[in-house]
């Protein structure tokens, strides 16, 4: 990595492509920048040459950026993918594919620098001769876009998730963050990491539960540091069993540590 990154920039809009190339050439981490004005040109370039990273627009005629990224993931030595787009709603799909970052246009130099830092660290720690597959743990953090800024909310920060139509609200000790994705999709990724469905509209971290409470009407609620979460009758027994198993595992781990 001492010689710098070889980057391919792909965008069908000439002004956007020129600006991205300019920013990349000004970045100290980048040694060479090649431009492609459409996905097919980019694919031909990638088949004949090797690049460390591809900065890829999503909305392009013909083969779009998502489709191109899916093809690149099947290469024996795939480049790292960073999506660059004007639309934030593709973020979840982008991380599913295995993108390392997701930049919103107009791209700011500091955000590009952060993306390049992620690329550099990934290439320094991974065997780049092996494909980097898209895995469920790509959801270990979710990008939250606010006023042109991207913040990554780590799964470990989230105490519970509430569904709101096409969006979910990630409830943390520090506040609430809104992400566009269905609750059922997030459940698929996080159920193996200690999150359980306790209500049709709520996903709960087992580690976040301080106690279970019954209100005056007999309804069950799970108390967390970010508020109470309703537990439906159909999920109550499963939650109690999961909490008990969680406590036993924690005690077993603690006992081994003392031994």
Angle between helices 14-26 and 109-125 (to 10 degrees): 60
- The predicted structure's pLDDT at residue 127: 45
Pairing, β 202-205 against β 195-199:
antiparallel
Say whether pLDDT at 8 is over 80.
yes
Extents of the domains making up the chain: 5-125, 141-255
CATH superfamily of this structure's domain 5-125: Response regulator (3.40.50.2300)
Structure confidence at residue 134 (pLDDT): 41
CA angle 103, 95, 70 (to 5 degrees): 100
User: How many C-beta atoms lie closer than 10 Å to residue 7's C-beta?
Assistant: 27
Judge if 5-125 and 141-255 fold alike in CATH terms.
no
Q: Percentage of the chain with pLDDT > 90?
A: 46
Given a contact cutoff of 8 angstroms between Cβ atoms, the answer to whether 203 and 161 are in contact is: yes
Place of tokens 């898209």: 134
Q: Cβ(69)–Cβ(132) under 8 Å?
A: no
How does pLDDT run across 192-227, given as a tens digit for each residue? 889 999 999 999 999 999 999 988 888 899 999 999
How large is the average pLDDT for residues 90-115? 79
pLDDT in tens, 15-31: 999 999 999 999 999 99
Q: Are 7 and 54 in contact (CB under 8 A)?
A: yes
Secondary structure class of 219 (helix, strand, coil)? coil
Q: Residue 252: pLDDT above 70?
A: no
CATH architecture of 141-255: Beta Barrel (2.40)
- Residue 20 class from Cβ within 10 Å (0-12 exposed, 13-18 middle, 19+ buried)? buried
Q: What is the CA radius of gyration of the chain?
A: 22
User: pLDDT grade, residue 133 (50/70/90)?
Assistant: very low
User: How many CA atoms are closer than 13 Å to the CA of 88, on its beta-carbon side?
Assistant: 18
Cβ atoms < 10 Å from Cβ of 160: 23
Our measurement of the distance from residue 142's CA atom to the centroid of its chain's CA atoms, rounded to an integer in Å, reads: 4
- DSSP lists the bridge partners of residue 195 as 205
Query: What are the tens digits of pLDDT across the range 165-197?
Result: 878 999 999 899 988 888 888 888 898 889 999
Query: Distance between CA 144 and CA 152 in Å, rounded?
Result: 6
Helices (H) and strands (E) in the chain, counts: 7, 15
CA distances from 238 to 161, 172, 199, 242, 243 (A): 18, 24, 12, 6, 9
């Amino acid at each position: 990595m001492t010689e710098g990154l070889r980057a391919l920039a792909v965008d069908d809009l000439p002004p956007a492509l020129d600006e991205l190339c300019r920013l990349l050439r000004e970045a100290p981490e980048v040694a060479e920048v090649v431009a492609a004005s459409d996905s097919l040109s980019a694919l031909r370039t990638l088949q004949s040459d090797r690049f460390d990273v591809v900065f890829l627009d999503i909305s392009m005629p013909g083969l779009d950026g998502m489709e191109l990224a899916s093809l690149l993931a099947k290469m024996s030595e795939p480049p790292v993918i960073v999506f660059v787009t004007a639309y934030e709603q593709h973020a979840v799909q982008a991380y599913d594919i295995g993108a390392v970052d997701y930049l919103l246009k107009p791209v700011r130099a500091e955000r590009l620098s952060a993306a390049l830092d992620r690329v550099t660290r990934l290439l320094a720690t991974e065997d780049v001769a092996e494909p980097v597959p898209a895995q469920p743990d790509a959801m270990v953090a979710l990008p939250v876009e606010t006023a042109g800024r991207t913040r990554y909310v780590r799964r470990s920060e989230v105490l519970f998730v509430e569904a709101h139509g096409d969006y979910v609200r990630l409830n943390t000790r520090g506040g609430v963050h809104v992400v566009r994705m269905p609750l059922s999709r997030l459940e698929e990724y996080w159920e193996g990491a200690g999150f359980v469905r306790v209500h049709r509209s709520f996903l709960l971290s087992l580690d976040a539960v301080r106690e279970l409470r019954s209100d005056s009407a007999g309804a069950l609620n799970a108390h967390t540091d970010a508020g109470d979460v309703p537990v439906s009758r159909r999920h109550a027994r499963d939650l109690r069993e999961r909490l008990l198993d969680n406590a036993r595992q924690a005690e077993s781990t603690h006992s081994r540590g003392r031994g």
